[in-house]
Amino acid sequence: MEKAVINDEAVQIHLQQIDKSFGEKTVLNNLSLEIESGEFVVIVGKSGSGKSTLLRLVAGLEEATSGQITFNDKSIKDSKSSATMMYQDSRLLPWKTVLNNVGLGLKGNWKDQAEKTLDLVGLLSFKDQWPSTLSGGQQQRVALARALVHKPSLLLLDEPLSALDALTRMDMQNLIEKLWLSQGFTALLVTHDVREAVKLADRIILIEDGDITLNIKNTGKRPREFSDVSLVQMEKKILEKIMKS
């Protein structure tokens, strides 16, 4: 299965000579990166390498100490591109139903749109339930629906599957890939899981000590199976590089 759709609104991201410091601690050091419209890029690295800080900069939640980030050649502040973010925890509001959680921030007659998005993630029948009645995987599906209901041109994912069991994680990986293939947004995922990166990414970026030390294109055909020797070799190469750092 090849990528069939690229959203006309999908964001092209350009990070140019980005530095980010917190006090005297330098987290990102002269980092430059280009992400193409509709590309699925995965950032890996050890804890403290700077990968989550990079994601927060792209999300506009932090400002770079120096350097520039642009969306389609415009600054983040001037860009009209829509970006949404998924976190490690679902961050659902416990006093709102599943449907109302998905509809947060929507205006007008939003329920049809929210229901269609819940249907995409397979949870339409749960729309009137409370978040506390759902499993961890179901809660993350609701969080994904809440991100996608805004029809983002950029989806940012900050280790959203790390707390899930192995089977649920695989199911969510497949779902995210399916929705990305059909909707064509640009995706930027941060994860510790190298196998997850190899399964999902068009390109894998390794960050070590605030700088990019590996930038690998993934040409494996989708859907990807680890019976494919080239994928196993790619995973091994990245893991060896991480372990040596």
Q: Which residue has the tokens 């019976």?
A: 227
Looking at per-residue pLDDT, the higher value among 78 and 160 belongs to 160
Segment holding 216, helix H or strand E: strand 211-217
What is the distance between the alpha carbons of residues 91 and 96, in angstroms, rounded to a whole number?
A: 12
Residue 36 reports pLDDT greater than 60: yes
CB 35 within 8 A of CB 57: no
CATH 3.40.50.2300 fits 1-82+152-219, yes or no: no
Residue 173 reports pLDDT greater than 80: yes
What is the distance between the alpha carbons of residues 176 and 212, in angstroms, rounded to a whole number?
A: 25
CB 11 within 8 A of CB 81: yes
164: DSSP letter:
S
pTM, entire model: 0.93
In degrees rounded to 5, what are phi and psi of residue 114?
-65, -40
Model confidence pLDDT, tens digit, residues 52-107:
999 999 999 999 999 999 999 888 887 877 789 999 889 999 999 999 999 998 88
Residue 11 reports pLDDT greater than 80: yes
Residue 245 reports pLDDT greater than 80: no
Q: What is the mean pLDDT of the chain?
A: 92
CB 58 within 8 A of CB 69: yes
Name the pLDDT band for 244 (thresholds 50, 70, 90): confident
Looking at per-residue pLDDT, the higher value among 243 and 139 belongs to 139
Which sequence spans correspond to the domains of the chain?
Answer: 1-82+152-219, 86-150
Model confidence pLDDT, tens digit, residues 183-232:
999 999 999 999 999 999 999 999 999 999 999 999 898 989 888 899 99
Tell me whether strands 203-208 and 40-44 are parallel, antiparallel or unpaired.
parallel
Tell me whether strands 40-44 and 186-190 are parallel, antiparallel or unpaired.
parallel
Name the pLDDT band for 3 (thresholds 50, 70, 90): low
Q: What is the pLDDT of residue 1?
A: 47
DSSP string, 111-154: HHHHHHHHHHTT-GGGTTS-GGGS-HHHHHHHHHHHHHTT--SE
